[in-house]
Structure 1
């Protein structure tokens, strides 16, 4: 993908990961590797089910992202994702916006003893990334081998384009390693060529295996696997407030997991599902060594639906708890030299519960948003019980965007009616840390309500998007004064309602805050204005939504350098945010 059009719809723009130092790679660059002192002996096997990546097998891997998608039919737990971003969520940004991006290089494998061996083959699984932007015709993924002259030699590649996408099944490849690569310093390298400015032109890779005594038809493995980590125990939500557990039976769902048989023969498999929590003193098997019936056929994948967890039994007065989900199979898999088929038989996941609802799991692989002033982006929620909305949290990832203005938090009982919240706020961009906004006037909500924000300038404003969970039917956006239900993206926006006790006098129609207002005077003014109290920090915004000045710790402002007209001043005092209009004459 060579460019992206920022039109006024929801658009995918960037991964939201850890945002650290940018590391760029050029195709002719020397790779700073972490080779071990001892070379690897065959067999070589890695299915990436161990996260973080097994650094005993790889010499260059720091930029690689391991992902666990529930919808891509992977051979086993976790896949390697190739696109235009490194593992820190930063784009490579080559000068022309295109080139080699993610790179994965094996450690040294001693192949000298196989120089006359015709049975050494390398196999792997690959596909387009259905959770990212598909590669175009000019984009590629490639495999190179290190030859005896210590030069990289291209041995396999695939190009993108709609005609080359055959669906949501990984493609199996097997290549014979020929004599020119049979030396003591053999290595292999996967890399992708494409747009280096974001999460574009994306591929996935899994289950790499090299050994002798193989042939071109060797596609069977004595391995039974879990395809992804099951995480979601509710029909829609990922997490709910602890105080709402007692009413949760109607929304709980059976945990789903996909089990695969990578062998050509049938294989009996038992599965177990364990729920535990230290805070709640729980250690409960929901299923224990239950046989999968009928027995899995050769190369068969099957979705297992487990019994529901009775979350309503876990009521607690604690402010936060963790519930651990462990799913595992027993199938006769074994651990061999350099191969541990047991790695992909067990999944673990910890679900955090506190005082909020969420559709997301807290990780934004991408972001989505709007790019029009006065547009609104909201998310529909349905609370299990009447409660007090005290905060709203939003993840605004740092995606090298140009938005530098403020927002207005908004809330509705019905988005086609009047707002019940319209509160100006500042934005802090971070790839992990949420913006947690305290409502000046807490709101009592019941049944269905909507929360989100209105943006105050035309630049694109990204919101974290979790691609592992899909609540796309809960997203609504307003552009040009018209409300629209999302039909553009798949995923869950990271916007959460937080509930709690309030220090304010609350009514269901009009909430009154027990603090005095801060007055700006004179207004209109010739340019010198005063605050009735010293404020902490603030912004001055013109009619076009541009921030023209910032200030801190002040009780007066000098606006005489600015033209006559109307301005907005957004400022905070004691964690409460205010928005005032002033006129300069």
Structure 2
């Protein structure tokens, strides 16, 4: 059991009953500190658990909250890993006749894979500890991994003992496994501690119809599917060229029903889907409106509709759309269960293509070879109109054994009878930084071609890297995928082959940035140094100091356009920026000769 840390933040007053968490918040991050001690490394998300009771679960694995492993090495090392500890809960004044029970659902394994088997030298297990009235942690339950990925199972604990009925009661789930990666993982969902649970140890069903995870016939985990047919994001002008055909006819998610009534009757519900333009602050319409029955005690009742039902305005402005699905349970669910009735998915129509959603559940590697050609990974993209490739965003993953910078070459290939051409039409070599803050402050690194590369129809973009004996890792999104035959690999002897990751899931995280046929190039470093921003950091209006320019644009840390200088103000040195979230941005200045200058800006 992990040792207690006296510096850990505790609530000043104990929580009262009921204690409940189905991990629908945050969408992706540490457990809610109002209920849980804010340490332990657990991650709340809807992208790792398979068929959770409701959307969202807490995952315990060998990675800390900062993404680094516990062992500090790449060698296999087994120990205690993540934990999940409740804040103090006031059970004083209760007696052994008050029917106090703690229940939770647990799962061994996740979308990442099957956990290793438990043994004396390789402990892979999940344990529950209860804090008694003498502040001693008592191990009350454990499960040893059988090298099997399980479904969610309910565990109910009887707390009707005087040693647990005190004013500072706590419970803690502790995982053990490989401390060097996330191969041994456990998911926790639907934690409920309350009095008066009349069914006691059989209290494992609940009056709750909710949104879940995954979609039958698609990924078994993750949230609402992408509203786009092929991509998770795409340039707004490419979308505008084929608005209806780029939207998915199968937008949806699995629903769950945790109730098992007598007799086992289906529940009538109404499902509504809406779409909102977050950039403009307007609701575009309803893409789904349907009554239905949902059978009892089910975890994978698919609900879909067509995103193309609502027309998206073909305006040139970059936009972020939010597609939402909501269940109306006709007031039958308990108030605590209503927040899990809604799920949403954002899609960017900006300046880049993506097959991934921006989160890495795993990684893929370029093999460690010391001889032969540099291996290549490349994606295929289908354009709706001719365009230019401005650069490529990559998601490098660094291990404790390899934190140094790495050279990389990005390339664009034309199509040659359904595969990349033998020779690229453009290349650019750069160096990816080692560990530490990346230039954008986010996991992607963008490499820009010296001149935007013209493309039309089908093109391929990717990267190559001489491994020089190193395993070079890149992020892999397990909840999204690319069309069959759209990922290509050129091996060390120079042979191209279309490849898929093991199984039907997984998207390599690389994103081409397009220019909408703008053929600009960046100015030299010396010319760019003549421009500065004042004040910086800033709150609102900023002034550009330096030579003249034609127009200014503001990009966020992902390279998305969040503000453009109005035509009537083009070239003016004063930039009246709108209210934006604090963070790192880039002011991109278009010069009179078509080149661009980028200056970093910190907004407070």
- TM bucket (normalised to shorter chain) is 0.7 to 0.9
Q: Deviations over 1:252-280 (max 9, x none)?
A: 21311221111113321111111111545
Contact 1:395/1:432 (CA < 8 Å) preserved in 2?
A: no
Assess, with a 3 A threshold, how the Cα gap between structure 1 residues 58 and 415 changes in structure 2: closer, same or farther: same
User: Aligned ranges for residues 151-230 of structure 1 at < 5 Å?
Assistant: 151-162=136-147, 164-166=148-150, 169-179=151-161, 180-214=163-197, 215-228=200-213, 229-230=223-224
Hey, what does 1:262 align to over in structure 2?
258
What's the secondary structure of 1:470's corresponding residue? coil
Q: Superposition RMSD on alpha carbons, in Å?
A: 2.9
Q: Which moved more, 1:446-455 or 1:78-87?
A: 446-455
TM-score scaled to structure 2, two decimals? 0.73
Corresponding position: 1:351 with 2:357: no
Corresponding position: 1:381 with 2:381: yes
Hey, what does 1:104 align to over in structure 2?
84
Tell me which structure has the larger Cα radius of gyration: 1
Q: Paired residue for 1:130, among 110, 118, 123?
A: 110
What's the secondary structure of 1:244's corresponding residue? helix
Assess, with a 3 A threshold, how the Cα gap between structure 1 residues 317 and 102 changes in structure 2: closer, same or farther: same
Q: Which moved more, 1:204-213 or 1:346-355?
A: 346-355
Q: Paired residue for 1:455, among 465, 486, 500?
A: 465
Q: Deviations over 1:450-487 (max 9, x none)?
A: 21111123212221222221228433323331434134
Hey, what does 1:326 align to over in structure 2?
324
Give how far 1:371 is off.
3.0
Corresponding position: 1:306 with 2:290: no
Distance of 1:352 and 1:487 partners within structure 2: 25
Runs of at least 5 residues in structure 1 that lack an aligned partner in the other structure: 1-25, 506-512, 517-573, 577-585
Assess, with a 3 A threshold, how the Cα gap between structure 1 residues 119 and 299 changes in structure 2: closer, same or farther: farther
Q: Paired residue for 2:454, among 444, 447, 451?
A: 444
Corresponding position: 1:43 with 2:15: no
Hey, what does 1:404 align to over in structure 2?
405
Assess, with a 3 A threshold, how the Cα gap between structure 1 residues 472 and 288 changes in structure 2: closer, same or farther: closer
What's the secondary structure of 1:347's corresponding residue? strand
Corresponding position: 1:59 with 2:60: no
Hey, what does 1:571 align to over in structure 2?
none
Hey, what does 1:486 align to over in structure 2?
500
Distance of 2:315 and 2:309 partners within structure 1: 14
Give how far 1:237 is off.
0.6
Contact 2:284/2:310 (CA < 8 Å) preserved in 1?
A: no
User: Aligned ranges for residues 62-77 of structure 1 at < 5 Å?
Assistant: 63-69=41-47, 72-77=50-55
Distance of 1:28 and 1:278 partners within structure 2: 45
Assess, with a 3 A threshold, how the Cα gap between structure 1 residues 295 and 64 changes in structure 2: closer, same or farther: closer
Distance of 1:290 and 1:356 partners within structure 2: 34
> Runs ≥4 in structure 1, deviation > 6 angstroms?
513-516
Distance of 2:186 and 2:483 partners within structure 1: 23
User: Aligned ranges for residues 253-292 of structure 1 at < 5 Å?
Assistant: 253=248, 254-265=250-261, 266-280=266-280, 282-287=282-287, 290-292=290-292
Runs of at least 5 residues in structure 2 that lack an aligned partner in the other structure: 119-123, 214-222, 525-594, 598-604
Q: Which moved more, 1:46-55 or 1:480-489?
A: 480-489
What's the secondary structure of 1:426's corresponding residue? strand
What's the secondary structure of 1:240's corresponding residue? strand
Larger relative contact order, structure 1 or 2 (CA cutoff 8 Å, min sep 6): 1
Hey, what does 1:535 align to over in structure 2?
none
Distance of 1:54 and 1:328 partners within structure 2: 23
What's the secondary structure of 1:243's corresponding residue? helix
What's the secondary structure of 1:314's corresponding residue? coil
Distance of 1:279 and 1:409 partners within structure 2: 32
TM-score scaled to structure 1, two decimals? 0.75
Give how far 1:435 is off.
1.6
Contact 1:270/1:289 (CA < 8 Å) preserved in 2?
A: yes
Distance of 2:474 and 2:306 partners within structure 1: 34
Distance of 2:483 and 2:142 partners within structure 1: 35
The number of residue pairs the alignment matches comes to: 480
Contact 1:396/1:428 (CA < 8 Å) preserved in 2?
A: no
Distance of 1:258 and 1:79 partners within structure 2: 15
Hey, what does 2:592 align to over in structure 1?
none
Q: Deviations over 1:373-403 (max 9, x none)?
A: 5122222222222211121111223443345
What's the secondary structure of 2:2's corresponding residue? coil
Q: Which moved more, 1:396-405 or 1:325-334?
A: 396-405
Assess, with a 3 A threshold, how the Cα gap between structure 1 residues 35 and 220 changes in structure 2: closer, same or farther: same
Contact 2:49/2:187 (CA < 8 Å) preserved in 1?
A: no
Give how far 1:39 is off.
1.4
Give how far 1:119 is off.
2.4
